[in-house]
Structures are given as structure tokens and as C-alpha cells.
Amino acid sequence: MTRPRALLVVTGSELVRGERTDRNGPFLAREVLEHGLDPARVTIVGDAEVELEAALREGLQADLMLTSGGLGPTHDDRTVELLARVTGRPLRVDAELEATIGAVSRSVADRLGRPYADFERGVRKQASLPEGAVSVGLAGTAPGLVLEHEGCLVVVLPGPPPELRRLWASALESEPMRRLLARARPPGRRVLRFFGASESSIARALEEAGGERPGVETTICARDFEIHVDLVVDPGAEREADELEAALVAPVEQWLFSRDERPVEEHVLDLCRARGLTLATAESCTGGLVAERITRVPGASDVFLGATVAYADEVKTEQLGVPPELIERHGAVSAEVAAAMASGARARFRADVAVGITGVAGPGGGTPEKPVGLVYVAAETPEGARGIDFSYPSDRDAVRSRAAVASLHLLRRMLTRS
């Protein structure tokens, strides 16, 4: 069964210039796939009239076109105006919408001590809809819209991600969207997450498993120093997916750590929680990245006690109890100091589990013996201690991120005794 095709048009010159990263395209692509549509393309386009008009014309060739951005009151917010042009529909002021947007704008004018006349033109602009379009709600003063045009359903959403997500939920409840989704059958989705294996080794395992099966689309992606494999399974192709998954995993199972989308820090927290263990970190080159990832997870406070960012040697000695002679003998970047940092964090926070990280993040500070990218990680649990080291010659941010990921996976392996 062919899934209805969706094209996504994400607008904003700041995205094209690289000043901001698009968050709406990936979100909407995941959403339409989960609802049984095929996200065929995400187009990022600036606010220039000719570029945006061309993108909108192309989008109308799909079953569903989603747009984000360009709904504000200023001259460069052109999405609705150009949608009217490409569909050949006149713009008409929606009186009810004008009153609603006007009320919001009047409150803003009063708060700022400005005359409403300063806002009136923008209100009228935002309340002007292509004939046949229906509002699905407001984000501030920007209306989300749905419009059916010659076999294509157009959904127009605001650019700020929180506002887009709220109005997307409203658009899903609209009658035109319900009719479109009735034609779709959501695929199944399976995820395999590996750490420690290369992308090429996973690709080779897929090839040796016979490659993709009919009705099973497989993607392999290196992400956050892990290898993520996604299987999108058409209804009726579950048996083919079972066979492919089993054959793919068999030669690389030692590196498989998850069959769900939880990040590694969530696995670490769940493992600690299941055993009633508490956790702390002692970080030097990572500067608190491990603690940040852990505390990003809601509910982490029942496991995570705290962190010490021990960047200077005196902080390592004074706050974590690392013996000065240990640093003098082996250097601050060493397996011995990483182990002492982990032990010191356990003692200071009275934690059951702790990790210590030290390394040379660069771009300076490296030596022939200890080059940029060299990192030592040590973890300590009630059952014992373990350390790893690696050399990852790259830029500063990449070295720090790689160290944080490696630290979390070392904790995961120790907590699963693998």
C-alpha cells in the first residue's frame, strides 16, 4: 500500500543563513510518518518571495503540504499571501479572527503604552486568509490554517517550535486532516541502538543479512557517537521485519544496548533506580556535560545527587580528595587521577555510583605523550571499579561530547555487568 505523500516547507532566512537550526522539519517528519504518511522531502527556504513561492508550488503536488513560519505581521512574513497566490484564491479578512487577534494586540498595546493604531495593519494582515482556509487556533497573534486545494491538504503552522507543536495538535483534530489520515495506515517502527561498533560494521551486518526486505525500510545513522538503526515496517511485513532484525543483530549483538529510543542517560538512571543506587559525577574536560545530560531526564533527582566540575588541579585535590602526589606522578590527565576522581565523588556525595573524567579537549594543551583528544574515564560502583581511555583527535566540542557519551556507556555496562 502506497502511503500518502507529504512535503514540508520550513521558512526563515535565519535558517538558510545558518543562524539557527531547524527543529520543525524533523519534528513534523516524524509526526507524519507515525501517522502513516510518507515524509518525502523537507525544504528549508528563506523569506525571499520567489524562493518561497516556488517551494509552495512544489508542495501542492503532494497529498499533504505542511509549512512552518512566515505568519507574523511584518512585511517579510509572506507564507499566507503566497499560498493565496499559488492556489489562485483571493485573500479575505476573517471578521471573527480579526476580532480575536485584535483583542490580543490591544492588550499588548495597553501594556506597552502604545496606540492600537500601531498594530491595526498587522492585525488585518494576520486575519486575511485565502478563500476556503480555516483557522485551527492562534499562537500569539499567528493563526494556524488548514486549506484543501485540488487534492492537496495544506496545513500552515507558525515558526516557533512550541507554538507549532501546539497548533499541529489542533490541526490533527481538524476534519480535513481526519479524512486524509483515514487513507493512511501507520507503519510499525523498530529501533536498534549500538555503541562500540562502527557504522560500516553495522552496514556489513545488514548486507550479510540479505539487505532490506519488501515492506521493510532500513536506515543506519551514526548519531551522538552511537549507531542507530531504524526499521520502518509496512502493515503485513512483520514477518520479514522479524527475520531481518534477527539476522542483522546476530553478528553485532555484543554492541546492542537498546531496542527503544531512550537515550543512554535514561538507561543509566533506570538501572540505578532498579537497584536503589544513587549517582554522582566528577568532571574535568567535560565541564559538567555528563551531569547536564543526566539532569535533562525528568525525575533524575531520585537517583542523581550532584556533580563536581574539577577543572583545576587544586579543585581535584580540595574537593575530591585526589592526592597531589598522584597528579604530580601521573599528571592530571591519567587513568589514576580519573579513578581517584570517581572515588572522591562517591565519598563526597555519599553516592553508590560515580564516574570521573579527565582529558585533553584542545585545541591546545596536548603533548606527544598526551595528545589532544586523549581522555580517561573511570567509574566506581559497589561491586568495583573500571576504567577506559581513548584518543579522539578532533575539535574541542567533539572531544568533550565523545567523553560524555563514553562515560555514560561505561556506567551502563557496569550497571548491567556487561
Specify the CATH number for the domain of residue 106. 3.40.980.10
Kindly indicate the confidence band of residue 23, based on its pLDDT and cuts at 50, 70 and 90: very high
Render pLDDT for 202-259 as a digit per residue (tens, 0 to 9).
999 999 999 999 999 999 999 999 999 999 999 999 999 999 999 999 999 999 999 9
Question: 318 and 204 in one domain?
Answer: no
Question: 275 and 173 in one domain?
Answer: no
User: What phi and psi, each to the nearest 5 degrees, are found at residue 177?
Assistant: -70, -40
128: which strand partners? 93
Question: 25 and 169 in one domain?
Answer: yes
Indicate the pairing of strand 279-283 with strand 304-309: parallel
Of 181, 200, 222, the domain-final residue: 181
For residues 215 and 234, the answer to whether their CB atoms sit within 8 Å is yes
Render pLDDT for 36-77 as a digit per residue (tens, 0 to 9).
999 999 999 999 999 999 999 999 999 999 999 999 999 889
Render pLDDT for 150-193 as a digit per residue (tens, 0 to 9).
999 999 999 999 999 999 999 999 999 999 999 998 999 999 99
Question: 275 and 254 in one domain?
Answer: no
Question: 242 and 297 in one domain?
Answer: no
Mean pLDDT of 90-108: 95
**Strand order across the beta sheet in which 216-223 lies:** 216-223, 226-233, 188-194, 256-258
Boundaries of domain holding 175? 5-181
pTM recorded for the entire structure: 0.85
Question: 123 and 20 in one domain?
Answer: yes
Render pLDDT for 293-337 as a digit per residue (tens, 0 to 9).
999 999 999 999 999 999 999 999 999 999 999 999 999 999 999
Q: How many domains does the chain have?
A: 3
Of 241, 258, 275, the domain-final residue: 258
User: What's the CA gap between 348 and 332, in Å, rounded?
Assistant: 19
The closest alpha carbon to 8, from 53, 62, 66, belongs to: 66
Specify the CATH number for the domain of residue 276. 3.90.950.20
Question: 282 and 160 in one domain?
Answer: no
